[in-house]
Amino acid sequence: MNDRNLRSCASRFVLTTRSKMMKNLGINGKRSRIFTAALFCSSSVSAAAPGYALMAAARGRIAAFLTDAASRLSHIPWRSIGSDALDRASLVVKAACFVHVVNTYIVGIAFVRGPSMLPTINLTGDVVAVERITPRRGTVEVGDVVILISPENPRKTVAKRVVGLQGDAVTFLVDPIHGNATRTVAGLADCYKVPMGHVWVQGDNIYSSRDSRQFGPVPYGLIQGRAFCKVFAIQIY
């Protein structure tokens, strides 16, 4: 396609689209003639001397756009939008703080799964409610199910039942699968009791539980909460 063909194509395109554009823009009368002339002019001139004319047209359009945009932007209520955004953000922060404080100091929810607490807590997982006040006050009792940080892996949290408190003597089956050998606690060789500030925890399912029988008494400070209520059981079967 040569240059002449291109020009004719362009002018035909302008003519066909002109009526639609004018209709859309609501242009008629004198302004319509000017508009048409401008379109013809811009198309023919841009075809004849593309570089300079195109740049000038673009510059004019950009300037018009910018002035238009400036007048529009100045009408947007930035101040109220900003204060609104600040309000929303502070509300989110407050909510996050509230959730954190309630979860850390009063009551929280934990998802427990695994075979070690089997009759009490399902293999596939239970959601339990955990309260943090009893461990904080130091009044955990024998028989409570507690959530504690595993002494072997600080990133893991496990649920076990408290079997002995400090000063108690605990007797347990060393290896319930292979025999009836029992042992009495024991943390250190020279004392026969659970040491000060420690608790003895065991899973309810003594056949597959990794607990104090393997890693000894755990410090009280690792206890994160006392499970007091099963919220719901997750059943996959």
Partner 1 sequence: MSSSISDILSCCFGSFYFVCLVFFLMAWFFFCRNLDMEAANFLWFSLKKSITGIMFGLTISDKFFTVYSVTGSSMHPTFTTSNGSFPAFLKGDIVLVERFWDDKLSHGDVITFKSPTDHKKEFVKRLIALPGDWMQCPNSHDIVKIPEGHCWVEGDNRSSSLDSRHFGPIPLGLVRGRVTHIIWPLKRISKVERKAVMNRVYRT
Question: Which positions touch partner 1 (CB under 8 A)?
Answer: 93-94, 96-98, 100-101, 104-105, 138, 148-155, 195-198, 218-223
Q: How far is the CB of 213 from partner 1 (least distance, A)?
A: 16
Residue whose CB is less far from partner 1, 41 or 102: 102
* Token code pair at residue 105: 């100091």
Residue whose CB is less far from partner 1, 161 or 198: 198
Secondary structure class of 106 (helix, strand, coil): helix
Distances in whole angstroms, Cα of residue 38 to Cα of each of 3, 41, 45, 95, 233: 21, 5, 10, 59, 75
Q: What secondary structure does DSSP assign to 124-150, as a single string?
A: S-EEEEEESHHHHHT---TT-EEEEE-
**Residue 20 is a catalytic residue:** no
Distance CA 33, CA 30 (A): 5
Q: For residue 56, say if its preceding peptide bond is cis, omega within 30 degrees of 0.
A: no
Distance CA 31, CA 18 (A): 13
Of 71, 160, 212, 230, which is the active-site residue?
Answer: 160
Of 80, 116, 193, 230, which is the active-site residue?
Answer: 116
Q: How far is the CB of 101 from partner 1 (least distance, A)?
A: 5
Residue whose CB is less far from partner 1, 68 or 152: 152
Distance CA 12, CA 3 (A): 14
Q: CA-based Rg of the chain, rounded to a whole angstrom? A: 39
Residue whose CB is less far from partner 1, 125 or 187: 187
**Residue 116 is a catalytic residue:** yes
Q: How far is the CB of 87 from partner 1 (least distance, A)?
A: 13
Q: How far is the CB of 223 from partner 1 (least distance, A)?
A: 8
* Residues listed for the chain: 237
Q: Annotated catalytic sites, by residue?
A: 116, 160
